Amino acid sequence: ARNSRLPPGPPALPLFGNLLWLRHSAADVEPLLLKLFDRYGPAVTLRMGSRLAIFVSDRRLAHAALVGSGAVTLANRPQAATSSLLGVTDNIITRADYGPLWRLLRRNLVAETLHPSRVRLFAPARSWVRGVLLDKLRAGGVAGDDGATPGDAMEAFRYTMFCLLVLMCFGERLDEPAVRAIEEAERAWLLYISHEMSVFFFFPSITKHVFRGRLRTARALRRRQMELFVPLINARREYKQQLKEGHAAASETTFQHSYVDTLLDITLPDEKHRHLTDDEIVTLCSEFLTAGTDTTSTGLQWIMAELVKNPAVQERLHAEIVATCGGEDDAGEVPEEAVHRMPYLKAVILEGLRKHPPGHFVLPHKAAEDMDVGGYLIPKGATVNFMVAEMGRDATEWERPMEFVPERFLEGGDGAGVDMTGTRGIRMMPFGVGRRICAGLSIAMLHLEYFVANMVREFEWKEAPGHEVEFEEKREFTTVMKKPLRPRLVPRRT
Ligand code: HEM
């Protein structure tokens, strides 16, 4: 890295650096970053005191950094304020540095819970959630005609994806109030750490004293999470014990497998070979719920909005569904085995993720050593992030990038054969690429395909008068529709 130079960027103010960092997260400064790329080129450095945050918009540089020879060097994560200030463990997949602990936790999730053989065990759960989802949509959307405001589809997506992930996590089908309680506790905690704690990220030593009140609130939110999760974890401990003794039975509501089960079995690769603490298990459960719910529901929202706006695409998709699953059978469900036989469905999902990646950035990476990326120096300790949305919308790479054209992913199209893992090159990276690529990629794709197919089979999705679809974006934890999708849903089957 000796001859390389730091990516350019605006000058830093001494001590305070670029002040805007104080109040904003990466995605809030997305418009500013886009201007900086115009001015400084494909990699930009922002300074915050002595900290460096580097942003990369070029897909070749991203490939060199995340997949090329330096990939391991950039596979660390910056430390979160929650660990230094609240003592909440960093022993979770998203936050652990690249090393044996991260490998163990990640392999546990991927091989023990998200492996296709395990994923199949949850088919009845998905089928149940499909029913919940369609009921919620029916309650909000079918009206339409009588002038009533149609329901917010995102609400239904969020709640039902939460139901599903809670079930996979704790092995228990909970009722609506219980799921809502967990959902609210998670949201409050997330909101808190993303907004209120951002100030701590920059000045931990001073702020610890100044903002004692904030820390109190954070601790209360954390306690609430523990109160809700620990009994569920204990119930699972008991269930496992009963299984061992041979007198446990799975039921409609208690599933034979759960993510918590796998966590209870783990022994850590440190010298003590200890089990995970409750604190660690709660944080890992929270990560599981967070990683898989907002991301997937945001994906569903954008895809269904595009189907409302592009009726010809929706009709082609519906025709594929009917051709694959036959006409109107009794159950009316698009079974999940069928989604693997629907190339157009897959193309619709890919096009949605290209044009509207739920996260416009990946999670921040941190350089373990000085490294050279395409002539740029990335110094040890710098955080690095990537302009995911820009890459999918790059007009030099995609034909008419702002149009929704799933056909591009079929044979002969400019996206045919796209490899989302980016191994040979990056065209789009909605799940990130390289060592830290989303651990849930395949189940996320299954969820998107299965629920989109079922929603299109059940209803014709149309624009409701006065609630036209607009593609303006709003940043929450993910990038959602500024004006939520409120469709008019016309039942396809009588
Ligand atoms: C459409 C849905 C989803 C999208 C768009 C998405 C996207 C992402 C992205 C962009 C990252 C960060 C990659 C990086 O830092 O370079 C990530 C990481 C991760 N995702 Fe997903 N994700 C989705 C669904 C899920 C689901 C369903 C799960 C699990 C149930 C999951 C689990 C994870 C985990 C554990 C990580 C951390 C990986 C690591 O740090 O090693 N995700 N995801």
HEC letters along 117-131: HHHHHCHHHHHHHHH
Choose which residue among 431, 435, 476 to substitute to test ligand 1 binding: the one with the highest number of ligand atoms within 8 A of its C-beta.
Answer: 431
Are 324 and 351 in contact by the 8 Å Cβ rule? The answer is no
Residue 288 CA to ligand 1 centre (angstroms)? 9
* In the chain, domain spans: 1-81+360-392, 89-359+393-491
Using a 6 Å cutoff on CB, does residue 392 contact ligand 1?
Answer: no
Q: Is 56 in the pocket of ligand 1 (CB under 6 A)?
A: no
Instruction: Report how far residue 203's alpha carbon sits from residue 211's, in angstroms, rounded to the nearest whole number.
Output: 11
Of 271, 279, 227, 259, which is closest to residue 122 (Cα–Cα)? 259
> What are 256's two structure tokens?
């034979």
Query: Per residue of the chain (494 residues), what is the pLDDT tens digit?
Result: 556 799 999 876 544 444 545 445 556 678 888 999 999 999 999 887 678 889 999 999 999 999 987 789 999 998 776 666 677 778 899 999 999 999 999 999 999 999 988 999 999 999 999 999 999 999 886 555 566 788 999 999 999 999 999 999 999 999 999 999 999 999 988 887 776 555 444 444 555 555 666 678 888 889 999 999 999 999 999 998 888 888 877 777 888 899 999 999 999 887 778 999 999 999 999 999 999 999 999 999 999 999 999 999 999 999 999 999 876 655 689 999 999 999 999 999 999 999 999 999 999 999 999 999 999 999 999 999 999 999 999 999 999 999 999 999 999 999 999 999 999 999 999 999 999 999 999 999 999 999 999 999 999 999 999 999 999 999 888 999 999 999 999 998 76
Q: From the CB of 324, is ligand 1 less than 6 Å away?
A: no
Single out the residue of 340, 344, 358, 338 nearest to residue 314, CA to CA.
344
- Residue 364 Cα: closest atom of ligand 1: 15
Q: Is 145 exposed, middle or buried (0-12, 13-18, 19+ CB in 10 A)?
A: exposed
For tokens 């936050």, the residue is 95
Q: Is 439 in the pocket of ligand 1 (CB under 6 A)?
A: yes
**Ligand 1 atom having least distance to the Cα of 361:** 10
Annotated binding residue 438: yes
Contacts of 416 (CB under 8 A, 6+ apart): 408, 409, 410
Residue 16's pLDDT is what?
46
Element of type H or E holding 480: strand 479-481
CA distance 244 to 222: 32
Output Rg (C-alpha) for the chain, integer angstroms.
Answer: 23
CATH 3.40.50.620 fits 1-81+360-392, yes or no: no
Instruction: State if residue 98 touches ligand 1 by the CB under 6 angstroms criterion.
Output: no
Given this model, what pLDDT does residue 200 score?
45
How many angstroms separate the alpha carbon of residue 287 from the centre of ligand 1? 10
CATH of 89-359+393-491, one of 1.10.630.10, 3.30.420.40, 1.10.540.10, 3.40.50.300: 1.10.630.10
Residue 363 Cβ inside 6 Å of ligand 1? The answer reads: yes
d(CA 285, CA 260): 7
pLDDT at 191: 80
| Confidence (pLDDT) at 15 | 44
Instruction: Please classify residue 41 by burial: count the beta carbons closer than 10 Å to its beta carbon, then call 0-12 exposed, 13-18 middle and 19+ buried.
Output: middle
Q: What is the pLDDT of residue 201?
A: 47
| pTM for this entry | 0.94
Q: How far apart are CA 439 and CA 292, in angstroms?
A: 10
Pick from 220, 187, 217: which is nearest to 290 by CA? 187
Nearest to 324, CA basis, from 308, 352, 343: 343
* Burial class of residue 406, CB neighbours in 10 A (0-12, 13-18, 19+): buried
> 332 phi and psi, to 5 degrees?
70, 10
Q: What is the pLDDT of residue 32?
A: 85
Please tell me if the CB atom of residue 71 comes closer than 6 angstroms to any atom of ligand 1.
no
Determine how many CB atoms are found less than 10 A away from the CB of residue 52: 21
